[in-house]
Amino acid sequence: MELSLATRTVGEHTVLEVGGEVDVYTAPRLRERLLELIDAGARHVVVDLGRVDFLDSTGLGVLVGALKRLRTADGTFALVCDKEPLLKIFRITALDQVFPLYPTVEAATGANQ
């Protein structure tokens, strides 16, 4: 399934809803969108992975890049994920200790306020 990207605002948070497959081919589009959002002034970004059905190391690299960029800019970055296969990927790579992970968008946007 192709990558889909949709942005909405929840309070002071910019929520990027990602769907489909995030891999070595599609990850550059995700990187581009995240950079656009940050360059446009978004400082509290939540990436909702609820409709992602494939995520590889390239996609994870892009997400870590956004986390670091926002941290440098005194911003926040969080992920929404409640699918066990994806959560296992975060545990195996130790990235569950790097990203704030929330089960819902409500939890992610409420936590930073």
Q: Give me the residues that bind other proteins (CB under 8 A), please.
A: 21, 23-25, 54, 56-58, 60-62, 64-65, 67-68, 72, 85, 89, 92-95, 97-98
Question: Which DSSP state fits 82?
Answer: -
CB nearer other proteins, residue 15 or residue 55:
55
Task: Please identify, using beta-carbon distances, which residue of 4 and 23 lies nearer to other proteins.
Answer: 23
Among residues 8 and 68, whose Cβ is nearest to other proteins? 68
| CA dihedral sign, ordered 37, 77, 22, 50 | negative
Q: How far apart are CA 64 and CA 29, in angstroms?
A: 15
Least distance from C-beta 108 to other proteins, angstroms?
19
Query: Residue 65's closest CA among 20, 25, 101, 95?
Result: 95
Shortest Å, Cβ 98 to other proteins: 5
Name the DSSP class of 75: -
